[in-house]
Amino acid sequence: MQEDKYADAAKHDKNKGGFGMKLVKKDDFLNFVNTLIKNDSRTVVGVKSKRNKFIYDTLNSADELRLEYDVTMLSPNKYFLPPTETLLRYDFTGKFSVQAVNEVTPLIIIGIHPYDLIAIEQMDKVFKDSNPDYNYIRKREASILIGTNIQNVSSYAFSGSMGAATTDRGFDLMLTNIGDKYAIEIGSIKGKNLIEKYAKVSEADNDTTREVQRIKTEIGSKFEKQLNFSSEELPKLLEENYDNELWEKNAQKCLSCGSCNFVCPTCYCFDVQDITELNLKTGERIRTWDGCLLEDFAKVATGENFRKDRAARYRHRFMRKGKYLYDKFGFIACIGCGRCASSCLPDIADPCKVFNSLKEVIE
């Protein structure tokens, strides 16, 4: 029965379309990455180790790649919405002039976990749907995303509860570790072309397809943490708990440092400032990451602060993740990566813990 389940799931997957599946030996995969680094015009980025953590950074060799990682410190969204970015340059010398700026570095990003691919899809919707942000859009269009199914799970993660442990879309290529080979799902023309140009691959048979489906099905059971209810209940749960005393209680420990915002792959708020040079002749308009936990986040030019209290700022973050963005875009803006929980010194940022506590209160 178990085998039939995976066969049916694989058949269902196949019916979704796509560009098929290939197999590559691990040595050949390393050669593929080294060839990209050496011959492709795009910058190759991948997951590397940094002390006892993992980060996305430029690869100098395929040997640096760590596809067995649990979670990276920041998501690959940092390449599409950089922490600091120049939007335009202006010049008062002679006739006033303004030049739009978009510094795009075409990238091949290797090793993205499914939850981060889903976060990128959400940010695509945010930056394309309402007010198109061409700085973001151009960077995304110039990128190739190579995902990898999760091998090791962070102890802070609960992506299985958020429907983000695996994904069938959002990637150009997706790797699955099947022993001495990787199965490669091809998700786009860009991915197909990359494989055809640089990789030594063979066709995947039905047994491989079933094995990949078995591995993907079992990933969900690897998470130690989970919501005690369906994530679909979150918008209503948060609405009913807007005045819950938990916000005030937890906020008493909050340092207002914004760490939970800055590591989150679905936080996208930013500040924009004009920085004029001391010569008063030239300057730049820059945007930098901002976060709703920071005290001045909701402060306006006339001095009023619409969320001066820590409790209001603390509550706002969770309401935005599970209610406000759901109302606007139709998705829960938490993919259960656990980065916020692992970066919070007072241990109050964990969405899984907070959501489960709210659920217990109303039951």
Q: Which residues are within 8 A (CB) of 52 and not within 5 positions of it... i.e. 6 or more apart?
A: none
For 78-98, how does the pLDDT look when each residue is reduced to its tens digit (9 = 90+)? 999 999 999 999 999 989 999
| Confidence at residue 23, expressed as pLDDT on a 0 to 100 scale | 97
pLDDT at 129: 85
Band of residue 361 on the pLDDT scale cut at 50, 70, 90 = confident
Given 3-state DSSP classes, what are the helix, strand and coil percentages for the chain, each rounded to the nearest 5?
Answer: 40, 20, 40
Q: Distance (Å, rounded) from C-alpha 331 to C-alpha 250?
A: 26
Mean pLDDT throughout 287-302?
Answer: 95
Closest residue by Cα to residue 67 from 178, 144, 156, 158:
178
Residue with tokens 């950089």: 82
pLDDT at 12: 42
Look at residue 10 in the predicted model and tell me its pLDDT.
43
Q: Give the pLDDT band (50/70/90) at residue 19.
A: confident
Residue 1 pLDDT:
39
Q: Give the Cα separation of 351 and 290 in Å (integer).
A: 20
Question: Tens digits of per-residue pLDDT, 240-271?
Answer: 999 999 999 999 999 999 999 999 999 999 99
pLDDT score of 296: 94
Tell whether the model's pLDDT for residue 4 goes beyond 60.
no
What is the C-alpha R_g of the chain? 22
- For residue 187, what pLDDT is reported? 97
3-state secondary structure of 51: coil
- Measured CA to CA, the distance from residue 150 to residue 176 in angstroms comes to 8
Return the SS3 of 67.
coil
Res. 5: pLDDT tops 70 = no
Look-up of token digits 């690897």: 222
Statement: residue 237 has pLDDT above 90: yes
Tell if the pTM clears 0.95, that is, is over it: no
Flag whether pLDDT at 17 surpasses 70.
Answer: no
Per the CB < 8 A criterion, the answer to whether 279 and 91 are in contact is no
* Per-residue confidence (pLDDT) for residue 214, from 0 to 100: 96
Q: Report the percentage of the chain scoring pLDDT > 90.
A: 92
DSSP per residue, 133-186 = -HHHHHHHHTEEEEEE--SS--TT--GGGGT-S--SSS-SEEEEE-SSEEEEEE
User: What average pLDDT does this structure show over 132-159?
Assistant: 97
Mean residue pLDDT of the chain comes to 94
Task: Tell me the average pLDDT across 183-200.
Answer: 97
250/350 Cα distance (integer angstroms): 11
For residues 333-354, one letter each, b for 16 or more C-beta atoms within 10 angstroms of the residue's C-beta and e for the rest, the string is bbbbbbbbbbbbeeebbbbbeb
Report, as an integer, the average pLDDT of 170-182: 97
Residue 334 — pLDDT band, cuts 50, 70, 90? Answer: very high
Burial of residue 69, with CB atoms counted within 10 A of its CB: 0-12 exposed, 13-18 middle, 19 or more buried:
buried
Average pLDDT over residues 112-130: 95
